[in-house]
Structure 1
């Protein structure tokens, strides 16, 4: 299975990027995960949506050619980061490459609640008409106090979180297989 990860933070030392990289490494035998870079996507502009810059075309092609999407979101001001919304705006226009594309969400923050509010908002966005991305139900991964659960090498060290993530990965694979029957 080919999965693309879209990380809603462009910070080089982002905990969410570290979480995506951890998932990429830990589960490499279960699926192929490519972490996409949204740093260079221009602001969505309807004036150029029919002939977007190459970076947008390449980004949309990678998502279109993937079997599924892993959304990895931080929480900014109680919601989804603007850079992530911008990426979704590009994906939801013209050829609408997310429609029918299975998704799952994880997120990490230094706060105790993880990314609860951001993930709730992201779920709403993923169900919007131009997006319509089916979402793994009931497997929310909110990594709160991430700075205490991840080491300098980017490994999750909090065993209950690792065990829960193991379960969610298995649930996603089973759900994806059933979804694609």
Structure 2
């Protein structure tokens, strides 16, 4: 399984980056996880041609090629960082690669709540019509007190949190498989369904009235 993990912060030092790198390393035998940085991407400015900048297009291409997406967000003032919101605005306004894409949300914060309110806002944003991601339901990974959560090698110290993350990741793998299977079946039905034509209906009714 090929996944892309998006660091939801442009900070030089982010425990969400550390969390995604731990996920990348810890689950390397189960999935290929690429960690993508949003640092340095331009702020959304609503261009008239709706063309995505190079960095945004690169991210969009990686999302398209991936089986699923993991977004790890901190919490700033009870919501997601402006840099992450800007990236999502670019994606919704231009290439829309998140439509029907399976997404898992994680988050780390310095306080006790582990970005719970930011994750709630992120779910709302990803449900918007132009993003329309398939968000894994009834599961979220919250890492509180994240400055003390990792050792020098970037490994999670709390084995209960490791076990919780393993459960979430296993569920996400299953969610990705089921979602992509569902989408394939929908595509088959759409392809097999004959195109609607008023002319054919009118012609058929005319024949029946003769």
Matches within 5 A, 1:93-172: 93-172=93-172
CA change 1:117–1:34 in 2 (3 A) is same
Larger helix proportion, structure 1 or 2?
2
- Cα root mean square deviation, aligned: 1.3
Q: Does the 8 Å CA contact 1:109/1:143 hold for their aligned counterparts?
A: yes
User: Which residue number corresponds to residue 10 of structure 2?
Assistant: 10
Q: Deviations over 1:2-48 (max 9, x none)?
A: 11111111223210000000000000111111111211211112226
**How far does residue 148 in structure 1 lie from its aligned partner after superposition?**
2.3
Matched with 1:34 is 34
Q: How many residues align?
A: 181
Higher relative contact order (CA 8 A, sep 6+): 1
Q: Which residue of 2 aligns with 1:82?
A: 82
Aligned twin of 1:92: 92
Alpha carbons 2:75, 2:118 under 8 Å: kept = yes
* Corresponding residue number in structure 1 for 2:54: 54
**Distance in 2 of aligned mates of 1:72 and 1:50:** 27
Q: For each residue in 1:115-145, what CA deviation from the matched residue of structure 2 results, as whole angstroms up to 9, or x when unmatched?
A: 1000000000010000000111111111011
Does the C-alpha gap of structure 1 residues 94 and 154 become closer, same or farther in structure 2, counting only changes over 3 Å?
same
Where does residue 21 of structure 1 map in the other structure? 21
SS at match of 1:35: strand
Please give the secondary structure, in 2, of the residue aligned with 1:87.
helix
Structure 1 stretches lacking a partner, 5+ long: none
Question: What CA distance in whole angstroms lies between the structure 2 residues aligned with 1:155 and 1:103?
Answer: 23
Secondary structure (helix, strand or coil) at the match of 1:47 reads coil
The two structures have a TM-score, normalised by structure 2, of: 0.82
Q: Give the structure with higher Rg (CA).
A: 2
